[in-house]
Amino acid sequence: MRSVLEFVKVEHTLFSLPFVLMGYVLALAEFDLDPGIDLLWILLAAVGARGLAMALNRIIDRDIDAANPRTQGRHLASGSMSLQTAWMLAAVFLAMLLVSAGLLNQVALMMAWLPVLAFVAYPYMKRFTWLCHFWLGLCLGLAPAGAWVAMAADVHGWAAITDALWAPTVLPISLGVAFWITAFDINYARMDVESDREQGIHSFPSRFDERTTTRTTVQLSLVWFACFAVSDPVESIWFLAAAGVMALANVGVVLRMDRMADFQTTLFRVSMLTGWALLAALMLSFMTEPTAVVA
């Protein structure tokens, strides 16, 4: 079990989970739904999706990982886990996603192909373009949208998608998540610049210089703050304040990275805290200003 959890980097689930929950609670508020057991299926689907994404990434990138000194110790790269076992884990996570989506409703099940396709495409993107970071952002941006659509479909069926009911409520949130994780991933890729250049891997830091990388990630942080600032929950001062504070925290870490003993660890912790701070602010909005987050 420990090996499996290490293989799929279970701690990285902490990035997407708060935004899954944000999509869920926004749908509850907008459509006046009872929580029920749907929260369990949404959480299981989220865990399945995250596990599948990581398993596919490890399988497809095993040769790249083996050639990178930082990642040579990963399970497939080092040979501590067989490829067959990795595929079995991927199948288990896929089944978890599909079964949980099916228990939600038909719309959730029929739309499950979208994140799966995004997960399969991502590892190949880095072989062709530095825009791979934006594709990863898209993958994480599906988290709040998926939870929202799954709940909204209980009321509106396919109209939740076809009538663009998602646009005013969850689209800005999803875009904010996408730009947020893009900024994080660009900074995360700083660790592998030399290896990426040697292997012909297209990452933003390996394509552009340090100054451009820093400037771009700061700009992306301002963009994701703007996305959260125009979303429906912005009527709550708590949500706006949380978004502003976390944007400043992320920018501050990037601008001060040369003075930090372990920039990557600090970046990871601040980035992980971002989603939870926003979720906490949204929940506080429900408790103190219940009408402020309902469109």
Whether 29 maps to a domain, the answer reads: yes
Taken in order 176, 180, 181, 186, is the CA torsion positive or negative? positive
34, two tokens:
């009872």
Whether 85 maps to a domain, the answer reads: yes
Whether 293 maps to a domain, the answer reads: no
What integer pLDDT is reported at residue 223 of this predicted model?
96
Is the pLDDT score of 104 beyond 90?
yes
Which is more confident, 182 or 81? 182
d(C-alpha 75, C-alpha 89), whole Å: 13
What is the percent of the chain with per-residue pLDDT over 70, rounded to a whole number? 94
Whether 294 maps to a domain, the answer reads: no
d(C-alpha 122, C-alpha 115), whole Å: 11
What integer pLDDT is reported at residue 292 of this predicted model?
47
Q: What is the CATH number of the domain that holds 79?
A: 1.10.357.140
What integer pLDDT is reported at residue 283 of this predicted model?
87
Please name the amino acid found at residue 56.
L
Of the candidates 113, 133, 116, the one whose C-alpha atom is nearest the C-alpha of residue 55 is: 116
- With 0.85 as the threshold, say if the pTM is over it: yes
Torsion of CA 156, 157, 161, 163, to 10 degrees: -50
Is the pLDDT score of 288 beyond 90?
no
Alpha-helix runs per DSSP H in 61-131: 62-67, 75-78, 83-104, 106-110, 113-125
Whether 295 maps to a domain, the answer reads: no
Whether 135 maps to a domain, the answer reads: yes
> Average pLDDT, stretch 25-54?
90
Q: How confident is the model at residue 285 (pLDDT cuts 50, 70, 90)?
A: confident
207-235 pLDDT per residue, tens: 999 999 999 999 999 999 999 998 877 67
Q: How confident is the model at residue 31 (pLDDT cuts 50, 70, 90)?
A: confident
- Find where tokens 């304040």 sit: 241
Whether 237 maps to a domain, the answer reads: yes
**Total domains, the chain:** 1
Torsion of CA 248, 189, 70, 254, to 10 degrees: -20
Whether 111 maps to a domain, the answer reads: yes
Instruction: Quote the domain boundaries for residue 165.
Output: 2-288
Q: Other CB atoms closer than 10 Å to residue 137's CB: what's the count?
A: 26
Q: What are phi and psi of 37, to 5 degrees?
A: -90, -5
Residues 6+ apart with CB under 8 A from 78: 66, 72
